[in-house]
């Protein structure tokens, strides 16, 4: 069974631009969560989608948004990029929810210059 796939692996953007990251969950998994990891920080929860609905959201500004499609694939968008948005963005999928064992993708490394 294929794992969680995230594209692209690396991105370089400049301040003020926007970016869209993509995530394909494990087949059959309906919950997709997004996390941000920065140096010295743990994994900070962004949001979770289940059956195309956002069920839970972390403490991030409205510039961070996401969506989920009917095939469970998910995208997250960051608008008006700031230098502090440089991070590894991880997507994770699970069968039912974000509070059970999560399967993570390899992440998208975003650098904002």
CA distance 59 to 46: 7
CA distance 23 to 25: 6
Question: Interface with another protein by CB under 8 A: which range of 11-19, 49-57, 64-72, 73-81?
Answer: 49-57
Residues whose CB is less than 8 angstroms from the CB of residue 84 and which lie 6 or more positions away in sequence, other chains included: 112
Q: What is the CA 87 to chain-centroid distance, rounded?
A: 11
Q: Does 102 bind another protein (CB under 8 A)?
A: yes
Q: Does 21 bind another protein (CB under 8 A)?
A: no
Q: Which is nearer to another protein, 17 or 67 (CB)?
A: 67
Question: Interface with another protein by CB under 8 A: which range of 14-22, 54-62, 63-71, 73-81?
Answer: 54-62
């Amino acid at each position: 069974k294929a794992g969680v796939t995230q594209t692209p692996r690396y991105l370089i953007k400049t301040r003020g631009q926007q970016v869209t990251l993509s995530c394909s969950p494990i087949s059959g998994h309906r919950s997709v969560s997004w996390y941000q990891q920065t140096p010295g920080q743990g994994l900070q929860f962004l949001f979770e989608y289940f059956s195309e609905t956002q069920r839970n959201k972390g403490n991030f500004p409205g510039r961070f948004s996401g969506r989920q499609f009917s095939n469970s694939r998910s995208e997250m968008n960051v608008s008006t990029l700031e230098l502090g948005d440089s991070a590894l963005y991880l997507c994770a999928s699970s069968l039912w929810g974000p509070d059970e064992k999560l399967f993570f993708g390899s992440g998208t490394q975003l650098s904002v210059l």
